[in-house]
Structure 1
Amino acid sequence: MSTLTALARAQALAAGVAQPIATVRHLHLSQRPLVFVPLTMAGEANAPLAALVGTDPDHPKLLIVAQPRNRDQRFAFAAELASILVAYVDGHCGVSETVDGGRGKDPRQRYLDAPQILVPNPAGISFVRLFGRSTRFRRTDGDYPVHPSVPLLGRWLTFFAERAEHPGSSALLAMTEALTLHWATGQSAMEDQNLAALLGWLDPPPGLTGPQAAARAEDPATWPPAGPVTDPGFDNERLAPAIAAYQAALDDEGARLLAYAELERLLRDQLEPTWRLMWRGVAKLRELTPGARVEGRWVADRDAFTGYAEYVQSGESYPQPRRDGAVAAAQRLDRLERAQASYAAQRAYDDPLVMADHRLTGEAFAGVVTMAKPDRVDDTGKRPVLRPRIMVLAEDPVALAPGAAVYSPARSAQKATVVFVTPTDGSRTEVVLELSGGMGRSLTAPPGSVPEVGERVTYTTLNDTYRPGAALPTREETPWTHGGPPPEYTPSEQDAAEDWS
């Protein structure tokens, strides 16, 4: 937890209402997201029990598994979920645009939009990941075949789960994480995972404070858990008898229909409060203006979606393997690390509140330009180059050493190198910076490319420029220390084996 977030939590507790920790929205929010609220059977690893799913707040689709231990019913649930989710995904595969392939490559196509799935909490993302893994390897022929849509559902769920690991992606979002990215409550991070309590702090009912609303939200009779795990009291007192009644009525069609209707009612009552909370959360997020760099990150999601959709549509795609090989795992880790660094820089560039956190840690400083020499030329090399210098009277303690590279959100393409750091009286510091880049190739700086005297500036070590990937061996060159080149992957019967199968 950062210093400013800790302060905001203390202020929230004193004020009785959540406090903002962002001035803009740092994630993309689709005009038509798919909200998915799953429930699982207690004591059965990732066995689906029910789900509310849909894009219309007033007309959710209820899916249930009357007997979660029954394999056929579980995969019938998966097929019904596939009919909704895959259709939603396919609805984004219509209109595309032509974009530059870059680096001498041919132009390529990219869909104009991409699907977005919203779940209540990180446990919902875990359900998506595990349910995707347990369905994407299923066979549609041979012994125990499943509907052809089931493995396709699993592949798409795995795609969304993998995008959720990518910093800055908005393809699959947990509502609790999306809200706590922008507001701080007066309760613990663990308590923030209760969506009802979290929204109690953010938007308490009239006449109640945040703590009072959060305390009411802890009553599972009024606000059932947001899943995927159900409340033990509900399991023992209501769900177990209803499932037993359904099981006992299998030989009597009339009694079975009545028992099924009772199960539907019970499970709908458990899911609908969370469904309403999800759309309240969506409305709360829509109150914020998206950050300037959010659209660029959504473009990356659209690129990833387009690429995977084309791979699936080719008809030759295999389901993603259960485990990456050594090189693939290293490449994935490298991509995630670079994405995390870029995401941190972009959030700070978009939001002064986020940048303030980095100012407190010494990764950034802000101040006013007191001197500027925009026409300074460095002629010590083979040819003269434009190297303006400015002096900034920083309001923050500056712990950077001479030679450190810093960047300004206002001129992100320009690099500044720390030349001198001179503390003055009080807490202010004079920092001399030498500028390079973002000024063209001539020896005269274009107007506005060099900060002027009196201009307020911010500089940070965070950098959003392109970072090349690590130099890793190819798959065929996997060193013997990491098992050597892995065999060509082909799906097998063992891939589908799960503890809960």
Structure 2
Amino acid sequence: MSTLAALARAEAYAAGRAVPLATVRHLHVHERPLVLIPLALAGEANAPLAVMLGTDRAAPRMLVVGQPRNRDQRFAFAAELGAALASYVETFTGVAEPVPVDRGRDVRYRYVDAPQLWVPNPQGVEFLRLLGRSTRFRSVDGEYPVPATVPLLGRWLTFFANCAEVPGSALLLTAVSALGLHWATGQSGTEDAHLAAQLAWIDPPAGYAGRQAARLAEDPDVSPPAGPATDPDFDNRVLAPLLALPDVPLGELTAVLRGVLDPTWHLMWRTLDLLRALPAGAHVAGRWDGDRDAFSAFAQHLAEGGAPQPRRDGAVAAAARLHRLEQAAARYAVQRAFDDPLVMAEHRLAGTAFAGVVTLAQPDRVDDTGRRPVLRPRIMVATAEPVRVAPGASLTCPARPAQKAVVISVNPAPEGTDVVLELSGGMGRRLVAEPGSVAAVGERVVFTTLSEAYRPPGAFPDPADTPWTHGGPPEPH
């Protein structure tokens, strides 16, 4: 936990209400998301018990497994869930748009929108991942055939679960993580994993402080667990006697489980309402474009009869995926800081950024020491914050991300520090800077070592060249 996040939690506890950690929303919230709340049977490895899902808060749909230990019933449940998920996903595969590539010399196509799934917590993502792994290799013919929607479900769930690992992706989101990204409560991070208690701090009922509302929300009779695990007392008193009957009454079981899932269903939509009330960050739309690219590519892969995702990545594929995740994490951290002054404050505290006021500006300075003259304006920034950058360091101003600033000197001043910066890029192609491209005297600016500069992809060998130390070339699927 960072220093500012810890301070925010302390302030929330003292105030009795959650404290904002962000001024903007750092994730895309779809107009028509698919909310999905799974329940699993205790004591069985990822045995599905029920799921409540839908895109309309007034009309949730219930899917229930009468006997989760029965293989046929489990696959019938998977087939029904697969049909529901495929029906939702297919609504986004109707219209595509051209996207220029290769500097406009060619185009590719992607769908104009993509699906978005919401689950209550990270355990829900792991449940979907395991359900996908157990269904995507099932055969639709042979000795133990399953409906075609079963392996289709497995492939889509695996795709969404893999996307959930990518920092900044919004194809599969969890409510507790999304709320924790934008608000600090007065309780621990472990307690924030309880959706009802977390929301009680952020949006308590009238007349209640956050801690009082959270204490009430932790009562399983008022707010049952958000799944996939169920309350042990409920299991012993209600669920186990029903499942022990020779012929499980499906109607009664459905009604019981609906009562368990209904409170979480309403909490999920309250979460979406709270997030929608925040303005979207400047980079959110660009990250959603990347999600649309990923969705379009995978939908095309399925349409062409592509193979299911492998059980385990080969050495080269695993290294390449790790590299992509690391790049996505670095890019996401920079974009959040550039979008949000509260996030940038963390970097200012850590010394990777500073804020100040421009006291001198030389916007028309030209450097003619080279073979041809180039525009190189200089500015002086007065700051009262610690400056932990040395001359020669390259900085970026979030207000002008295409511009590079090189530190010329760092000098003590009576009220802080004066930093002289030389600017390049983002000012046009002439020897006169375009209006507004150079910070003017009196303008408050922020400079940081963070940068959105292009990072070239890593170079990896061909999978056929995998050395024996890493398992050798992968076997064909």
Q: TM-score range by the shorter chain?
A: over 0.9
* Match of residue 274 from structure 1: 264
* Match of residue 78 from structure 1: 78
After TM superposition, give the deviation of residue 422 of structure 1 in Å: 1.6
* Match of residue 101 from structure 1: 101
2:300 is the counterpart of 1:303: no
2:235 counterpart SS class: helix
After TM superposition, give the deviation of residue 105 of structure 1 in Å: 6.0
> Distance in 2 between the 1:418 and 1:470 partners?
29
Describe the shift of the 1:347–1:443 C-alpha distance in structure 2 as closer, same or farther (beyond 3 A).
same
> Distance in 1 between the 2:475 and 2:311 partners?
14
Question: 1:430-483 deviations in whole A, cap 9, x for unaligned?
Answer: 111111111233222222111111111111111112211112222223234323
2:315 is the counterpart of 1:331: no
* Match of residue 38 from structure 2: 38
Describe the shift of the 1:296–1:141 C-alpha distance in structure 2 as closer, same or farther (beyond 3 A).
same
2:282 counterpart SS class: coil
Which of 386, 409, 422 does residue 434 from structure 1 map onto?
422
After TM superposition, give the deviation of residue 334 of structure 1 in Å: 1.1
Which of 319, 324, 340 does residue 308 from structure 2 map onto?
319
* Match of residue 466 from structure 2: 478
* Match of residue 224 from structure 2: 224
* Match of residue 147 from structure 2: 147
Which of 250, 260, 268 does residue 250 from structure 2 map onto?
260
After TM superposition, give the deviation of residue 411 of structure 1 in Å: 0.6
2:383 is the counterpart of 1:388: no
2:458 is the counterpart of 1:464: no
2:98 is the counterpart of 1:110: no
* Match of residue 498 from structure 1: none
* Match of residue 365 from structure 1: 354
Which residue identity is paired with 2:213? Answer: A
After TM superposition, give the deviation of residue 484 of structure 1 in Å: 2.9
Which residue identity is paired with 1:51? Answer: V
After TM superposition, give the deviation of residue 2 of structure 1 in Å: 1.7
> Distance in 2 between the 1:203 and 1:79 partners?
38
* Match of residue 50 from structure 1: 50
After TM superposition, give the deviation of residue 421 of structure 1 in Å: 1.2
How large is the Cα RMSD of the aligned pairs?
Answer: 1.3
After TM superposition, give the deviation of residue 106 of structure 1 in Å: 2.6
1:348 counterpart SS class: helix
> Distance in 2 between the 1:405 and 1:480 partners?
42
Q: What TM-score, normalized to structure 2?
A: 0.98
Which residue identity is paired with 1:422? Answer: N
> Distance in 2 between the 1:39 and 1:424 partners?
62
> Distance in 2 between the 1:181 and 1:460 partners?
22
After TM superposition, give the deviation of residue 381 of structure 1 in Å: 3.0
Which of 405, 412, 415 does residue 423 from structure 1 map onto?
412
Unaligned runs of 5+ in 1: 250-255, 491-501
After TM superposition, give the deviation of residue 195 of structure 1 in Å: 0.3
Q: What TM-score, normalized to structure 1?
A: 0.93
* Match of residue 65 from structure 1: 65
2:14 counterpart SS class: helix
> Distance in 1 between the 2:76 and 2:102 partners?
44
2:387 is the counterpart of 1:398: yes
2:244 counterpart SS class: helix
After TM superposition, give the deviation of residue 363 of structure 1 in Å: 1.1
> Distance in 2 between the 1:320 and 1:187 partners?
39
Describe the shift of the 1:105–1:80 C-alpha distance in structure 2 as closer, same or farther (beyond 3 A).
farther
> Distance in 2 between the 1:384 and 1:479 partners?
51
* Match of residue 444 from structure 1: 432
Which residue identity is paired with 1:277? Answer: L
* Match of residue 495 from structure 1: none
After TM superposition, give the deviation of residue 332 of structure 1 in Å: 0.8
1:272 counterpart SS class: helix
Unaligned runs of 5+ in 2: none
Question: Could you tell which deviates more after superposition, 439-448 or 403-412?
Answer: 439-448
Which residue identity is paired with 2:398? Answer: P
> Distance in 2 between the 1:22 and 1:366 partners?
18
> Distance in 2 between the 1:24 and 1:477 partners?
46
After TM superposition, give the deviation of residue 103 of structure 1 in Å: 5.0
